[in-house]
Amino acid sequence: MSPDLLPFGLTPQMLVSVMTGLGTFASILAIIRAFVPHDPMRSRLKLHAKRRSELRTELIATPRRGRQAPVTLLRNLVERLKLTQGSESRGTADKLAQAGLRTRDALVVFLSIRLVLPLVLSVLTWIMIEALSPAMVTQRPPESGRAWVASRSTLMSTAARSCASSMATCS
């Protein structure tokens, strides 16, 4: 190597000694790193403690008075109907915990929704059927129930015939 090509006035002997020193330093670091155990749980524990303190401050800071009344009402309903007893509710509580819903009220809210939702959906379905079939609502039923069934089926068959005759109107 010619001394003209080295920067900052380095000689080849200086360059070899600097490279040897860097190599030795890297080897020592590798050996130390191999013998010192790395604990990944330490950082996870720190993050967990930080998150726990954040949750504590949020729990203390926010008043939950406005939300307790509906949940208390639902809890009374669920307890009166004894829906929280049994192995199925314990399994449901475990599944809710796996889904991330670990509060005491999660099971109560889930069971009450499961109780009320079929009733609400059936009422909504009945309203939609009545709203979408105005011919059945406006026509008064005859005195006997059998004639009403016959007239209702006649209405449906009449609607089907008119729909089949003019496909452009129905679609």
| 31 found inside a domain | no
* DSSP code string of 28-47: HHHHHHHHSPP-HHHHHHHH
pLDDT tens for each residue of 142-162: 565 554 444 555 555 655 565
Mean pLDDT across the stretch 80-107?
Answer: 84
| 154 found inside a domain | no
Mean pLDDT across the stretch 24-42?
Answer: 89
Residue 1 has pLDDT above 70, yes or no: no
Cα 125 from Cα 143, distance rounded (Å): 27
74 contacts 112 by C-beta, under 8 angstroms: yes
| 153 found inside a domain | no
Domains contained in the chain, number: 1
Instruction: Report percent pLDDT > 70 for the chain.
Output: 71
Structure tokens at 76: 């009374």
Residue 105 has pLDDT above 80, yes or no: yes
| 92 found inside a domain | yes
| 170 found inside a domain | no
| 88 found inside a domain | yes
pLDDT tens for each residue of 35-77: 888 788 888 999 999 999 988 888 787 555 555 577 888 888 8
Q: Quick one: pLDDT band at residue 21, thresholds 50, 70, 90? A: very high
Phi-psi region of 142 (alpha: psi -120 to 50; beta: other; left: phi over 0): beta
Which of 134, 110, 130 lies closest to 122, judged by CA?
130
Give the domain range for residue 80.
Answer: 69-139
Structure tokens at 3: 């001394």
